[in-house]
Amino acid sequence: MWIPVDELKPGMKVGYPILREDGSILLNQGVALTPGYIKRLRELGFNSIFVEDELFADIKIEEPLRIETKRKAQKVLFETVKKLQRGSKFSYEKVAKVLEEVMEEILNYPGTVFYLVQIRQCSDSIFSHSVSVGVISLLLGHYLSLDMDYLKKLGLGALLHDLGKIRFPPQLLEEREKITEDDKKLISLHPIWSREIIQMQPGYDFLVSLIALQHHERMDGSGYPYGLIGEDIHFLSRICACADVYDALTVDRPYRKRFSYAEALEYLMGNSHSLFDLQVVTTMVRHIAPYPVGEVVKLTSGETAVVIKLNEGLPIRPVVRVIKDEEGNTLSKPRDIDLMKELAISILCSGDETAEDFYPSSDISRFKEMDFID
């Protein structure tokens, strides 16, 4: 079950491996939490983790990418960034090789609905983020029937799209209420820097660098760095842009709390005729689970439940396990509800939201500000 770090108690067991920025394991699945571990997680900026719970012993987390492959990709990206920070060239071939492993697993993923576990430090704005953007972009490209050559270029461009951020001063993305105009000018340069870094590497592909350059362009011309409009933005860049925004919004940052998966999809869908490509967003809504397994949700019945299984074809109506009644009392005998069959009940919002929190239309400017930074 997915719970905030502030609610952890000694003796609880880790339900999913917690990784460091370099892909190494900080705490493995099954490790019993101690006061020291909990304090360290809080110090490192982890806001939520999975914990094991006997009520959900029969539930397995099934991602399109194995944890071992995710770790390997994150390690390669970490090494890449460190080499660049030392002024060295990185191994383009090494990144391409780990991408092949990622692609193999993604193309063999049997499901049509997916989600990614996102347990991250707030400060991790390059490593695991870029791996997730790469995975989401590849899955979307696969569902959009791109050929293998385009998929490889899309995957590489998505993995390397944020390399330009290594030129930011360390304090730029730290905790803040509002970014300044000078900050915005600097932030708007990072896609150009990403392209420059990629094009400095032997054997680079132009389209890979173009994806990195254009991942913050928006369909109505409101993006950066060049304010491109519509078809002037390459289709692969539009895929990466949607994956980038979705992943950035759904993880905690030092300067704001994460948005729910459903809220992020709602934002993308609500702006699919202005900011984002409609075909890409439609594909995301069809294939990304708005309520992943392990997510605590509130039902229209007033009860609290945990998602335990995704329904193919209609991810917005999963199978849930009710754990609290409408008064907030814990049930002695939890019961499962398949929302594909119980049509009178639906998910109202994620467990850490209110119904009013879910709908972002009244504060779109907040999303655009975060989109600009991330």
CATH number at residue 89: 1.10.3210.10
Residue 345 lies in a domain: yes
- Give the HSE-up count for residue 186: Cα atoms under 13 Å, Cβ half-sphere: 14
Same domain, 207 and 285: yes
Domain that holds residue 12: 2-52
Q: How far apart are CA 67 and CA 253, in angstroms?
A: 22
Counted domains in the chain? 3
Same domain, 7 and 96: no
Same domain, 46 and 169: no
Residue 317, pLDDT score: 95
Same domain, 167 and 302: no
Q: What is the DSSP string of 160-205?
A: TTTGGGGGS-TTTTSS-SS--HHHHHHHTTHHHHHHHHHHTSTT--
Same domain, 186 and 77: yes
Residues of the chain with pLDDT under 50: 354-364
Residue 316, pLDDT score: 92
Residue 123, pLDDT score: 65
Residue 169, pLDDT score: 84
Report the predicted TM-score, pTM, of the whole model to 2 decimal places: 0.91
Active site residues: 165
User: To 10 degrees, the CA torsion angle through 134, 264, 242, 83?
Assistant: -40
Residue 352, pLDDT score: 59
Q: How far apart are CA 275 and CA 222, in angstroms?
A: 8
Same domain, 139 and 229: yes
Residue 29 lies in a domain: yes
Identify the CA nearest to 92 among candidates 208, 212, 201, 205.
201
Same domain, 155 and 251: yes
Q: Which of 270, 290, 310 is the last residue of a domain?
A: 290
Same domain, 171 and 212: yes
Residue 368 lies in a domain: no
